[in-house]
Amino acid sequence: MSDAKVTSLDVARLAGVSQSAVSRVFSGASASQTTIAKVRAAAEQLGYRPNSLARAMITGKSRIIALVVAYLDNQFYPVAIERLSQALQARDYHILLLMAGNSPEGIDHVMQELMSYQIDGIITASVAMSSDLTDRCAALGIPVVMFNRGQDGTAHSSVTSANVEGGRKVAEFLLAGGHGRIAHIAGWQGSSTGRDRTRGFLAALEEVGAPAPQVIDGMYTREAAAEAARTLMAGPTPPDAIFVGNDHMAFAVMDVLRFELGLSVPQDVSVVGYDDVPMAAWPAYDLTTLRQPLNRMVEATVATLLAEIDDPDRGTEKVEIAGPLVLRGSARIPQGWT
Amino acid sequence: MSDAKVTSLDVARLAGVSQSAVSRVFSGASASQTTIAKVRAAAEQLGYRPNSLARAMITGKSRIIALVVAYLDNQFYPVAIERLSQALQARDYHILLLMAGNSPEGIDHVMQELMSYQIDGIITASVAMSSDLTDRCAALGIPVVMFNRGQDGTAHSSVTSANVEGGRKVAEFLLAGGHGRIAHIAGWQGSSTGRDRTRGFLAALEEVGAPAPQVIDGMYTREAAAEAARTLMAGPTPPDAIFVGNDHMAFAVMDVLRFELGLSVPQDVSVVGYDDVPMAAWPAYDLTTLRQPLNRMVEATVATLLAEIDDPDRGTEKVEIAGPLVLRGSARIPQGWT
DNA sequence: CTCAGGATTGAAAACGTATGCAAGCCGGGT
DNA sequence: ACCCGGCTTGCATACGTTTTCAATCCTGAG
């Protein structure tokens, strides 16, 4: 049946038509029913598939989009990747995966490499791009959508949840629960996501005249968050509620409270997270958390990206999607809350 | 500086040399010091990068390898992807990510698409390929390495941990712990990995004349594993130890034991997992488990794949790497075990 | 029967690079 | 002085496709 490489020319010869005819059949251009039939039959017999690289070179569109992700420890990102991948595959796009790692300049290097593959677009998940790289993408006309992170100076589109509002919701919830000593282990303050959640949270507390909570940056890592929890609880007035900047850190905080300090959650301390990763629903944590509407964020991300690919002059877009607070067992639930 | 598309011809003109010279400089072929300098300078000024697609088309090597993965719920795979990605990036390869999903034939379709990108190799993580696809890869000379899963009939390389031996170790450990009613929630018996672990486990029990344990297939999912745990514990002789086919299921089993049935681990039931994902070390689970040596498995995977790419006639290889049993708090530890 | 008009078709150029080949250059040995 | 050999270099071709353009076919109206 199928030997090594079979080209459109081989198919053309077997079908008794020109190579152009074969191309037209497979690229959807017009052709008569008879030639379509002949070409299809010959292609089937030879096991022919059009070479995407050659096609990409001539059309300028590779149908490849680059997905740049910083780390996968936080369960939020594997799940997001899974959804993004499915959504893009369904639209006949393919994903070039790139781990940004922790090297701040290494990413620029690899991104440059990526550019040479004529990718049609870029999705960054929790990764900041150097402004140098940003300019480069703009110059080459490559659309970029930042998933779950904004970046102020740049002209890129972004899709996030309504983080400021989310922070507010958590504050209101904890206040309604009658918590008097509220603390905050923040998401990395170098990220817009972390800053926005913190800002909304603090603003809501301030508006009702609540005392300003103690805030420690958890850097989005288990280690920093655990250390922050220890510091908070060892202080003169240990908190009775902690808002943690994402679920990943919240699990670490709960582990410290329960297994190092022997405290009960939520009897001694209420803990609220952010994201609602699948693990938050596991009974071992049963974490009350503000849900990031992943499916809608993913849909918005691919919709925005593909729209920009189809129409380069479309302009960018900053999408914010609000999510609900999911009430579970890790935080005291105020009277009357559903 | 850099405008839209800059080709080797542009660089050649600016440098006052031929296009071939530019190509030679960037492809590492020989050239005089003076031309190298001129070309480098011109390229720098224009912001030139060789077009990988064009290069791939002529050389036949795209420096892209496809990574096919079934699901990312199990933390083992995100971590594996991270490592694989880093290892391949370090060798200047790029990763085309493909989620196999649950559609058994959908994967074949997408794989066919992938082939058209002239990928240099394929890594499958816990995914079985149809024999049709297998043949196709062989015919096209595309090396395939199966990560964490074998497949008997095929001529592909595979890298797994020593699953039979691992199953034995767990059995010996539970026996030494004095457990009398041992049960097994198996990894999916449709996978070599699941079958091997089960086989080693049962063989070790049988050799010492222990009663044959009750075995239920956990299908590698939380739901099936949880249901299996309920079934086992509701039976006439509930087990005092359960070997679970991987950590991902073991967490679900522990959740059922503790939060549905109110049992203590390991006082009432010992639980042992397989994989040693990062979460197994979290105090909320503190899971005793047989470690799959991820780093070495990843190294072996890329080494095998790249070797087959460099030398197509190299033949395939089945690598098995043994891992230790990691003693933690979820299972009773026999006297004298370290 | 003739002819206009649209639908099909094939030839050829283009995409951006690598590489075989022949010509040019240079140095050293006789 | 001459020639032989090796190192560089440019020319031209190839990779497999899409797409323009002109030529050809067919159909139906006059």
How many Å apart are A15 CA and C7 C1'?
Answer: 20
Nearest nt (C1') from A57 Cα: C15
A184, A245: one domain: yes
Q: Tell me the mean pLDDT in the region A305-328.
A: 94
Instruction: Sort strands B144-147 and A325-326 into parallel, antiparallel or unpaired.
Output: unpaired
Give the pLDDT of residue B3: 55
B221, B274: one domain: yes
pLDDT digits (tens, 9 = 90+) for A34-70: 899 999 999 999 999 999 999 999 999 999 999 999 8
Q: Which range has the worst mean pLDDT, A229-243, A316-330, B18-32?
A: B18-32
Q: Is A291 helix (H, G, I), strand (E, B) or coil?
A: strand
pLDDT category at A228 given cuts 50, 70, 90 is very high
Distance CA A25, CA A23 (A): 5
A271, A225: one domain: yes
B151, B169: one domain: no
Q: Tell me the mean pLDDT in the region B47-75.
A: 94
Q: Is residue A99 part of a domain?
A: yes
> Is residue B27 within 8 angstroms of chain A, CB to CB?
no
pLDDT surpasses 50 at A2 = no
Q: Where are the alpha helices (DSSP H) in A153-311?
A: 163-176, 192-207, 222-234, 247-255, 294-310
Q: Is residue B2 part of a domain?
A: no
> Is residue A98 within 8 angstroms of chain B, CB to CB?
yes
Give the pLDDT of residue B274: 98
Nearest CA in chain B to A65: B96
Burial per residue of A87-96, b for 16 or more beta-carbon CB atoms within 10 angstroms, e otherwise: bbbeeebbbb
A75, A29: one domain: no
Tracing tokens 């079908």 back to the chain, one arrives at: A15
Q: Tell me the mean pLDDT in the region A129-148.
A: 85
Q: Is residue A12 part of a domain?
A: yes
CA-based nearest residue to B218, from B247, B187, B193: B187
> Is residue A40 within 8 angstroms of chain B, CB to CB?
no
Nearest nt (C1') from B39 Cα: D9
Q: Is B1 helix (H, G, I), strand (E, B) or coil?
A: coil
Q: Is residue B331 part of a domain?
A: no
Return the H-helix or E-strand segment holding A286.
Answer: none
B120, B181: one domain: no
Determine phi and psi for B321, rounding to 5 degrees: -125, 125
Distance CA B147, CA A157 (A): 36
Give the pLDDT of residue B1: 45
Q: Which chain C nucleotides are covered by protein, judged by CB under 7 A?
A: 7-12, 14-20
Tokens of A148: 């779950």
Tokens of A331: 């935080």
Contact A173, A158 (CB under 8 A): no
Q: Tell me the mean pLDDT in the region A237-260.
A: 97
A68, A84: one domain: yes
Count H helices and E strands in chain A, helices first: 12, 12
Q: Is residue B155 part of a domain?
A: yes
Nearest nt (C1') from A24 Cα: D18
Q: Is residue A19 part of a domain?
A: yes
pLDDT surpasses 70 at B290 = yes
Q: Is residue A331 part of a domain?
A: no
pLDDT digits (tens, 9 = 90+) for B246-289: 999 999 999 999 999 999 999 999 999 999 999 999 999 999 99
A176, A282: one domain: yes
Give the pLDDT of residue A3: 55
Q: Which range has the worst mean pLDDT, A128-137, A259-268, A273-282, B168-177?
A: A128-137
| Number of compact structural domains in chain A | 3
Q: Inspect the interface and report whether the beta carbons of B77 and A81 lie closer than 8 Å.
A: no
Q: Is residue B327 part of a domain?
A: no
> Is residue A52 within 8 angstroms of chain B, CB to CB?
yes
Distance CA B259, CA B284 (A): 13
Determine phi and psi for B323, rounding to 5 degrees: -130, 160
A283, A306: one domain: no
Q: Which domain holds residue B216?
A: 163-292
Which residues lie below 8 Å from residue A150, measured CB to CB, with a gap of 6+?
A158, A160, A192, A193, A196, A318
Q: Which chain D nucleotides are covered by protein, judged by CB under 7 A?
A: 7-12, 14-20
> Is residue B40 within 8 angstroms of chain A, CB to CB?
no
Tokens of A113: 């490499």
Q: Tell me which residues from 4 to 23 on chain B have a beta carbon below 7 angstroms from nucleic acid strand C.
A: 5, 7-9, 19-20, 23
pTM over 0.85: yes
What is the gyration radius of the CA atoms in chain A, in angstroms? 26
Give the pLDDT of residue A133: 78
Give the residues across from A198 on adjacent strands: none
B152, B196: one domain: no
A141, A250: one domain: no
How many Å apart are B33 CA and C28 C1'?
Answer: 22
Provide the CATH number for the domain around residue B298.
3.40.50.2300
Determine phi and psi for B147, rounding to 5 degrees: -95, 125
A256, A266: one domain: yes
CA-based nearest residue to A279, from A305, A246, A313: A246
